[in-house]
Amino acid sequence: MAEEAGILAFGAYVPQRRLQRAAIFAAHAWFAPALGNVAHGERAIADWDEDSITMAVEAGRDCLGGINRATIASLSLASTTLPFADRQNAGIVKEALNLPDAVGVLDVTGSQRAATSALIQALQATAATRRPQLCLAAERRQARPASEAELLQGDAAAAVLVGHGDVIARLRGSHSVSIDFVDHFRAAGETLDYAWESRWIRDEGQIAILGKTIAEGLKAFGVKPGEIDRLLIPIPHRGVADAVARTAGCRAESIADNLAATIGDSGAAHPLLMLAHALGTARARERLLLVGFGQGCDLLLFETTAAIARTPRRTPVAEALAHGQPDENYLRFLFHRGLLGLERGMRAEAEQKQPGTTLYRHRRAVLGLVGSRDTRTGAVQYPPAEISVHTGEATAGTHEDYPLADRPGRIVSYTTDRLAYSPSPPLFYGVIDFEGGGRMSVEFADAGSESIAVGRTCRMMFRIKAVDELRHFTKYFWKAAPVRRPA
């Protein structure tokens, strides 16, 4: 009997900051008092230097720990908020993850169920190629101030690696329907969605379409509704999941936490985020029904295997929830989203043009953070060079590639700069030493006076370096994030 395709590994990334919904409501209560009904809990917000690409990279790194990246056949990135309309966004992620050039990459967009559709395609591809496929999804959506979406949405990313072998969850079936039900839309070139009336969306769309599709899908799978252990419905609106479960005949206790109160609705990424959260606590022989909704519906039925018990327990979503940093600075959120103009001063006017020739020639060093190691002396250096930092001699042919992104660092020195421009002042920069060798000048991310100190361990994070506002080109590089000590 041929091995069945399934999930080999999973990962997730949620930004540290959690904007309190009460802070958003406090700014709009005079104008939109009805928002008080949803002004509970918090939502995850990306920092100014994060977008769907950087978050996808972090989710991918979380997923691929211990995986031989040379085996991966393809990478797909699902999102409706991709930074580039005509540049392969998934290709940037591939470079940052230091995957081989022979890996196929694909952007998947245009619908909130882009990730589940991409996952179905990846499972079909791995059945044909017998090689692992990496599915990533990330979202950093814009919402109009004082809208319900502004409170309900959240920023996050998730990753699922599918293939054959010792899978932790086997695919038992998939089912899709396509219906042009327009609950919201965003025209090409626009930044904000237009949404229809929420009750109509709930009753005619989410409950009716999902309930019917789930019932049909389970019948096709030969599974009774009551046999589903976890029902993953990525819709944040209160009561929708319960109504869908009743319509489909599933048990109320099977409804999984939709993370609405703690992260918010992460759009196209939310189905995979909920899947990663469920797999973090799942036991063997559980049946998980994953739902994707957007101009139709995708269903994927997984059954966990005995391998999930043998695999070291990973709970990336739960860990992200535990490390969230409450934030009440609503004005900063608006500024970082480009929805509030502030006087930035002349220091913000520096030229940021990125020569494409230089980026291409040094893409592994810039995007992949690959340094070099002298095989004679063991000296590690970044940027990579053919001149040894130990001897000062030309050592052509004796240096090998030395990836640094996943190596921990230690802060040697740092500066807190309140004069240089930063969208989130002050600017922190300094020098770090990598474990195993190598020294690098860096900017720090997710840093504050309480978290940065000489000797503190840090991890490298793929972030936005700067934005060329004249040409609308985003420049990416690596920053060092101090590891926060447990409270």
pLDDT (0 to 100) of residue 392? 64
DSSP state of 72: -
Domains and CATH numbers, the chain: 6-336 (3.40.47.10), 346-369+404-482 (2.40.50)
pLDDT for 485 beyond 70: no
**Mean pLDDT of all residues in 3-20:** 95
pLDDT (0 to 100) of residue 45? 98
Q: Given pLDDT bands bounded at 50, 70 and 90, which one contains residue 308? A: very high
3-class DSSP assignment, residue 87: coil
Which tens digit of pLDDT belongs to each residue from 351-386?
A: 889 999 999 999 999 999 999 998 888 889 999 988
- Report whether 72 contacts 133 (CB < 8 A): yes
**Mean pLDDT of all residues in 191-209:** 90
> What's the rounded Cα separation, in Å, for the pair 139 and 59?
12
Alpha-carbon distances of 1 from 4, 174, 303, 368, 422, rounded to whole Å: 9, 20, 18, 40, 59
- Report whether 452 contacts 42 (CB < 8 A): no
Q: Given pLDDT bands bounded at 50, 70 and 90, which one contains residue 2? A: low
Report the chain's mean pLDDT, rounded to a whole number: 94
3-class DSSP assignment, residue 81: coil
pLDDT (0 to 100) of residue 1? 40
pLDDT for 391 beyond 90: no
Helix axes 208-221, 240-248, angle to 10 degrees: 40
Strand order in the sheet with 399-403: 380-381, 370-374, 399-403
Task: Tokens for 146, please give them.
Answer: 């004082």
pLDDT (0 to 100) of residue 139? 98
Which tens digit of pLDDT belongs to each residue from 70-83?
A: 999 999 999 999 99
pLDDT (0 to 100) of residue 394? 66
- What percent of the chain has pLDDT above 70? 98
Task: Tokens for 296, please give them.
Answer: 């139709």
- What percent of the chain has pLDDT above 90? 86
| Cis bond upstream, residue 426 (ω within 30) | yes
> What are phi and psi for residue 418, nearest 5 degrees?
-105, 5
pLDDT (0 to 100) of residue 321? 95
**E strand or H helix at 391:** none
> What's the rounded Cα separation, in Å, for the pair 422 and 258?
35
**Mean pLDDT of all residues in 68-97:** 97
In the block, residue with structure tokens 């967009």: 109
Task: Tokens for 208, please give them.
Answer: 């009716």
Q: Given pLDDT bands bounded at 50, 70 and 90, which one contains residue 484? A: confident
Which tens digit of pLDDT belongs to each residue from 412-456?
A: 999 999 999 999 999 999 999 999 999 999 999 999 888 999 999
Query: Whole-prediction pTM value?
Result: 0.96
**E strand or H helix at 429:** strand 427-434
Of 66, 65, 61, give the one whose Cα is nearest residue 96: 61
- DSSP string computed for 342-368: ----GGGG------HHHHHHTHHHHTT
**Mean pLDDT of all residues in 287-304:** 97
pLDDT for 192 beyond 80: yes
> What's the rounded Cα separation, in Å, for the pair 385 and 365?
11
**Mean pLDDT of all residues in 243-270:** 95
> What's the rounded Cα separation, in Å, for the pair 272 and 278?
10
Percent helix / strand / coil, the chain, rounded to 5: 30, 30, 45
Strand partners, 473: 468
- Report whether 348 contacts 421 (CB < 8 A): yes
Could you tell me where the beta strands, DSSP code E, fall in 45-103? 74-78
> What are phi and psi for residue 304, nearest 5 degrees?
-70, 155
Which tens digit of pLDDT belongs to each residue from 149-181?
A: 999 999 999 999 999 999 999 999 999 999 999
